[in-house]
Structure formats: structure tokens, C-alpha cells
């Protein structure tokens, strides 16, 4: 099955992807486990869980149900950290160590996203990364929107050196990018954090890198189309 642990929805201030369209897009891209990791918000992921539950296939159906993980990309004072399986929102604007403590207090997982790209404005600073290293559960070793592919390789080397689980993330800010990166694992029911970690132990990271300039242009184009359509519908 395919797992994507980094994705944004309309709950992020810089994304317009409607939550209602995620189930169909995930089916088209054969994504079975999708984490929604909006910037400093979890309501989008929670709402999508409700949408998926309402659309769940009948028992005995051949189609594998879609699992939604409630995540959040927390903007700490030292850069971004992702929490997975959250029950409560972690506030932005706090120290990285405090954000990690709040994630762990919920029994959730700490994931390090795009942490090795020096051109990422919100990457976690190396000093903060070393400070929280004992509490990092997962490292995103493939991010589809990094500045250069080699930074993914740096992340993979760091994860391997510290014996930390690896994953892929689309970091999608537009619906069309959902499903272009994933971790492929044997079929397994993902209910909680330990289920995910066990799945990632057998996982293979797969992904399609997009040049950041092209990604930015495509995102702006989608936003323009969305706003134009909204304007015409209201006119």
C-alpha cells in the first residue's frame, strides 16, 4: 500500500485544495494512508476523517478504505516540525523543543520534514535538529518540493546514521500534486503510531521531484483559476 505523510489542504493559509476532493484524488493515485499536515492547524485533517468515514466502502468491498492521519506542520521558532496522530493543535511560534514535548505528550509521532534543504525558509535549523534528535520518530527522506534532489539524499543518510524510520511526502499544496510521492509498504491496518512505525520498517520510499519554480508557478495558476471560478459563481 502507499503512504503519504506530508500534505496540505484548504486548512493551510497557502493552499486551496478542497477537502471534499481528497478521497477521489487518493483513490486515483492509489494512496491508502494520507496524513494531512496543515500549517499550524488540524481542523482540516479532522474534517477529512469525517468525510472519509461517511464515504467508507461497505464491509466486504474489494476497495481498500482510505486512512487519514491527523497531522500538523508546526511553525516553531527554529523551523517546522510535523506531528502525526495529534488530538490537539500545537501552537506555532514556540521553541522547537516545546513543540516536540507537546506532540509527545499526546502520544503522537515527531517527523522531521525537508530538514536538510538550506533554501527552505522554514526548515528546522541544524542546532534545533540536534537538540531534539532523541525524540524524532520519522525523517522525511523524500520531499517532492525540495530545492534540489540531493537534499533528500542528505536526509536519507542522516536517518540511516541515526537509525530513524524514513518516509516520503508530497508536501502537496495543490490537489494535482497529491500522490506524486509515497512510501510503499506491505498491506497493514494503520490505527495508531506503532502501526505506522512498523509499516515504515518495511517501506520503500518512492517519489517524483518537481523543480520549486515550476511547483510555484503551478500553485499560483491553480489559485488564480480557483479565485476566478469563485468570482464567476458569485457574479
CA distance 143 to 146: 6
Residue 119 banded pLDDT, cuts 50, 70, 90: confident
Residue 60 banded pLDDT, cuts 50, 70, 90: low
Alpha helices in 65-188 (DSSP H): 96-105, 126-132, 150-161
Poorest-pLDDT segment among 5-14, 17-26, 179-188, 215-224 = 215-224
Give pLDDT tens digits for 161-177. 999 999 999 999 999 99
Poorest-pLDDT segment among 59-68, 106-115, 185-194, 224-233 = 224-233
Contact of 168 with 183, CB cutoff 8 Å: yes
Cα 57 → chain centroid: 24
Assign residue 158 the CATH number of its domain.
Answer: 3.20.20.140
Q: Which domain holds residue 173?
A: 2-234
Query: Looking at the predicted structure, is the pLDDT value of residue 13 above 60?
Result: yes
Average pLDDT, the chain: 91
Contact of 135 with 110, CB cutoff 8 Å: yes
Which strands sit side by side in the sheet containing 165-169, from one edge to the other?
165-169, 138-143, 109-112, 79-84, 67-76, 33-39, 2-4, 181-184, 204-207
- 37, HSE (Cβ side, Cα atoms, 13 Å): 27
Percent of the chain with pLDDT over 90: 76
Residue 223 banded pLDDT, cuts 50, 70, 90: low
- What cell was used for 142? 523524500
CA distance 10 to 159: 31
CB neighbours (10 Å) of residue 87?
A: 12
> Which whole-number Å values give the CA distances from 31 to 150, 170, 198, 231, in the listed order?
25, 11, 18, 32
Closest by CA to 40, choosing from 102, 100, 89, 94, is 89
Q: What's the pLDDT score for residue 36? A: 98
Q: What's the pLDDT score for residue 211? A: 66
- 82, HSE (Cβ side, Cα atoms, 13 Å): 26
Q: What is the mean pLDDT of residues 131-137?
A: 97
How much helix, strand and coil, in percent to the nearest 5, is found in the chain?
Answer: 40, 20, 40
Query: Looking at the predicted structure, is the pLDDT value of residue 219 above 90?
Result: no
- What cell was used for 207? 517519489
Backbone angles phi, psi at 178, to 5 degrees: -65, 125
Count of domains forming the chain: 1
Residue 216 banded pLDDT, cuts 50, 70, 90: low
Amino acid at each position: 500500500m502507499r503512504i503519504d505523510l506530508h500534505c496540505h489542504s484548504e486548512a493551510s493559509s497557502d493552499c486551496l485544495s478542497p477537502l471534499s476532493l481528497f478521497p477521489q484524488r487518493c483513490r486515483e493515485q492509489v494512496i491508502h494512508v494520507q496524513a494531512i499536515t496543515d500549517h499550524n492547524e488540524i481542523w482540516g485533517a479532522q474534517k477529512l476523517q469525517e468525510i472519509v468515514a461517511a464515504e467508507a466502502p461497505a464491509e466486504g468491498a474489494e476497495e481498500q478504505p482510505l486512512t487519514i492521519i491527523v497531522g500538523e506542520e508546526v511553525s516553531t521558532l527554529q523551523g517546522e516540525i510535523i506531528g502525526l496522530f495529534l488530538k490537539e493543535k500545537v501552537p506555532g511560534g514556540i521553541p522547537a523543543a516545546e513543540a516536540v514535548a507537546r506532540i509527545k505528550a499526546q502520544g503522537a509521532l515527531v517527523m522531521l520534514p525537508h530538514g536538510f534543504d538550506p533554501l527552505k525558509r522554514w526548515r528546522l535549523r541544524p542546532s534545533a535538529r540536534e537538540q531534539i534528535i532523541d525524540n524524532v520518530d520519522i525523517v522525511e527522506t523524500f520531499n517532492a518540493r525540495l530545492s534540489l534532489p540531493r537534499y533528500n539524499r542528505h536526509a536519507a543518510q542522516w536517518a540511516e546514521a541515526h537509525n530513524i524510520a524514513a518516509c516520503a511526502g508530497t508536501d502537496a499544496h495543490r490537489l494535482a500534486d497529491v500522490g506524486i510521492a509515497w512510501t510503499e509498504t506491505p498491506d497493514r491496518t494503520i490505527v495508531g503510531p506503532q502501526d505506522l512505525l512498523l509499516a515504515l520498517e518495511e517501506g520503500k520510499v518512492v517519489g517524483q521531484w518537481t523543480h520549486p519554480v515550476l511547483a510555484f508557478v503551478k500553485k499560483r495558476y491553480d489559485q488564480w483559476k480557483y479565485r476566478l471560478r469563485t468570482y464567476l459563481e458569485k457574479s
